Structure 1
Amino acid sequence: MTTSSPVRVSRTQARRYRGRGVDTEDLEQIAFEHLVRAVRNYRPSGDSDFRSYAVPTIRGGIRHHFRDNAWAIKLPRRLQEIQSRVNAVQATLAVDLGHWPSNRELAEALNVDLREIIEAEQARGCFQPNSLDAQPAADGSTRSVVAQLADPMDTYALVDQIHALQPVVDDLPDRDQLILRRRFVDHRTQAEIGIEIGVSQMQVSRLLRAILGRLQLALSA
C-alpha cells in the first residue's frame, strides 16, 4: 500500500455511513482515529496484509460510535416492539415474497397499522440512498444492488436498513452475492438459480434463508 492508500481506505469506510445523522467530517475523523489504532496494533504476518486488518478495525469503530450515540431520544416502547417484530420476520417474508418486504407488506404480516410501521422505520434514522456505492440501472437511474431489495413502489422504503446492509452485502462470498442478485434484482426463481450454481431448489431456499438471516442480524446489531 502507498502512503496515501490507508487514508483513502479510511475515507471510503467513513463515507459508507454518511447521512445517518453524523457529519461526514466527523465520520472521517472517527475512521482516522481507528486507522491510527490499526497501525499501532498491526503485526505483519504471511496470512494477512495491513488492509485486511485495518478495514474491520475502522468499520468496527464507526459502528461502535453509532451504537453508543444512536438513541439520544428515548424511542416509545410500542415502536421498539414493532422494530423487534419487523427484524424477526423480514428474512422469512423476503424468501416467501421474492423481494424485500415493503412497509405495507410488513404491516399486513404483523397485523399492525401501516402508520406504526412507518413511524418505527423512520425512527431508525434517515439517509440519502445515492450515498451508497450505486451502479447505473438500465433506465439511467443510479441504484445499488441492495437498494433494489426494497420495494421500489413504496415511498417509505426501508432506506435506513439498506444503508446498514451495504457493508454486510459487500462482505458476503461471491456466490451469496450472486444468489441475492439473481433472486431480488433479476427476479429468477429458486429453481433457475439452482441450475446456474449447480444445486437443488431446496438448497437454494436454505442458502437464501441463511443469507437473509445474516442480513437480519446486521439490522438488529
Structure 2
Amino acid sequence: MPWEQQRTLTETLLRDAANAAGARRADLLSEAIVQGTAMARSLALRYDGRGVEREELFQVAYVGLVKAVQGYVPGPDTDFRSYAFPTIRGELKRHFRDYAWSVRPPRRIQNLQASINAVEGELAARLHRWPTDQELADRIGVPLGDVRDAQRALGCFRPVSLDAPVGVESAMSLGSLMPDQENTFELVNQLETLRPAVENLAARDKLILRRRMIDHWSQAEIAAEIGVSQMQVSRLLRRIMSILQDALAA
C-alpha cells in the first residue's frame, strides 16, 4: 500500500476508534497498529548500525507505536504521524540511553540526554516539526552548548571508524581529515575553512547535509522528505561533499 494511503487509513482508523467503545474500539486500534508498523520500522532503521541488532530496534519501535496509538487523541488539526514520530523516536532513544552504551560519557551528559528525550517529543508534537537545539536548550533551561554536547555524545553508542568515508562515494576517510593532535592550529583552520562553505550552501543543501551526516538518514528517507528521487539525492550529496572538499583544499 502506498505510504500516503496507509497514513490516511491509519488516521481514519484512529478517529473511528475515538468514537467507538469495547471490542469495536480494540479492533480498530489493533488495525491501526498493524498499519503503522511500516512507519515504525522506517524510524527504527534510522538507528541501524549503531550497535543494536536490527530486530531489537524493530521491537522497540513497535512498543513506541503501541504507546502512540493508545495515547493519540484526534482533533480538528491533529495528525497521528506528527504525534507518533516523536513517541517512537523517544522510545528508541531511551533504549539506547539505557542499554546500548559502548563508551559511557559523564553522568551529566547522560542525565541531559534523558532530559532531552523527555521534552523533544512534546516540543515536536506542539511545533509539528523536530525541535532545534536552541529550542531544546530553552525548554530544559540549559546553555545551548550543553545540548550540543549531549547530541554529539550519541556517537558513544557505536564509535565511528576512522576508516569510514566522509560522504557518499568519497575517497576521503574520516581519519584523513583529522589533524595531528599536537597541531591544534590545523583543527581550528579546518573548522574556520568549512564554516563559511557550509553557511554558503543553499537551504536545501544544508538540510541534506544535516540529515545525512548528523541525523544519519538514508538517501531514500531524504528523498522522501525533499520530494526528489534517491538517485538525485546521491548526486546532490556528491556535489555538496565536493564543495566542502574543495574548500578544505583551497
Q: How does the TM-score come out when normalised to structure 2?
A: 0.37
Bigger proportion of residues as helix: 2
Structure of greater Rg = 2
Q: How does the TM-score come out when normalised to structure 1?
A: 0.41
